[in-house]
Structure 1
Amino acid sequence: MKQFDIPATEILRTRQKLVLDHFHDEVVQRWDDVLATFPHPHYELVATLTVHDGDSAVRGYYHDTRVAFPDQHHEIIALRHSHDAVIVEFWLMGTHLGPLGKIPPTGQTFRVRMTAYFLFDEQENLVCERIYFDTLTMLKQLLGGLDLRNPRHWPTAVRAVRGLLSMAGEPDPRLLATTPPDLGTRP
């Protein structure tokens, strides 16, 4: 399929149903059903430069995020189609009730605007969910409730900063080694 060829309406409907089922099953935590939408589960979180590739890694991602935010859910803003993707703009929401990596739970809620690209190959298999969001917006909401004038909040603030620093590992090279597309333009 070429860049400007939009698939037939029936293909777009099928893709959209798969993506909406995927979203729904994530909220109700039916992980086997979510994973069944991929022949090989693959998530890319661009904001954190992390990749979760394969059944085990993706299940670990689901587990860790639902420990941190057991009530995580979403609100779809818009859904769009391209020649090789369904693009979903949405609000992600939840309450920080468990550790997020090494960041201790703050009990704060968050509401972050995100975009997810559900990428399809030429055989119409979902091959990747690539997610874009602003981590600072989320962190401000999770940590903003800590009153740093109150000494009782200092230990949590220190653990949160240490946790953030420990999460700043090496970026996944698959998200850095990109190749510019051939857009048919002149130099």
Structure 2
Amino acid sequence: MTTLSDQERVALQRACIVEHMRGENAHDWPAVYETFIRDERASYDVVPLSTHFAGFKGVVDFYTAFDAAVPDFKLVNTAEYDVPGCSIREVTVTGTHRAEFCGVPPTGQKVKFELAAFYLFGSGAESGKLLTERVYFDLETVLRQMRGEADAPTGVGLAQRVA
């Protein structure tokens, strides 16, 4: 068995995330799902909701729910940080609220919020596959935008800084 160097692991992680985010932006769910380890070890955590979507089925359930709520969402990667076993991406998410989300009925309002995604990877032969995606964002910002509040915040402008 060949042991990967730290540099090789990070390269695999980066390639996985590029494909993962490409699939998310294209709403190509088979491609997104292919970036995950496809068993009970996989998960998706939404920290602001205190919600853990367990197993590969949980990953699919998360994407199904979020894609329904914001079916035109797009991600803009604004920063990248990588160490062996974990990659972090800061992204700006934009889209339109089209289905219930956290008790807010669909409003057709535009949303724009910043999010930090932690990607945790397998090891050995699975170094280029996601075990967990864990996201952090300001839920109140999202909900206020979805409700159409005139003074709802839109973040600190990370996407404009990399444009």
Do they superpose with TM above 0.5? Answer: yes
Preserved contact between residue 70 and residue 94 of structure 1 (Cα < 8 Å): yes
1:133 counterpart = 2:137: yes
- After TM superposition, the structure 1 = structure 2 runs for residues 55-134 of structure 1, keeping only pairs within 5 Å, are 55-123=56-124, 124=127, 125-134=129-138
Residue 101 of structure 1 and its aligned partner are, at CA, apart by 5.0
Residue 132 of structure 1 and its aligned partner are, at CA, apart by 0.7
TM-score computed with the length of structure 2 as normaliser: 0.78
Counterpart residue number, 1:48? 49
TM-score computed with the length of structure 1 as normaliser: 0.69
What code does the residue aligned with 1:34 have? Answer: V
Counterpart residue number, 2:30? 32
Of structures 1 and 2, the one scoring higher in RCO (CA 8 A, sep 6+) is 2
SS in 2 for 1:23: helix
Instruction: Give CA deviations for 1:116-145 in whole Å, capped at 9, x if unaligned.
Output: 111123321421111111101111111134
Count how many residue pairs are aligned between Structure 1 and Structure 2: 140
Between structure 1 and structure 2, the one with the greater Rg is 1
C-alpha change, 1:101 and 1:48, in structure 2 (3 Å) is closer
What is the alpha-carbon root mean square deviation over aligned residues? 1.7
**Gapped regions of structure 2 (runs ≥ 5):** 151-163
CA–CA distance in structure 2, aligned partners of residues 120 and 64 of structure 1 = 23
**Gapped regions of structure 1 (runs ≥ 5):** 1-6, 147-187
Identity of paired residues, percent? 29
Going by fraction, where is strand more abundant, 1 or 2?
A: 2
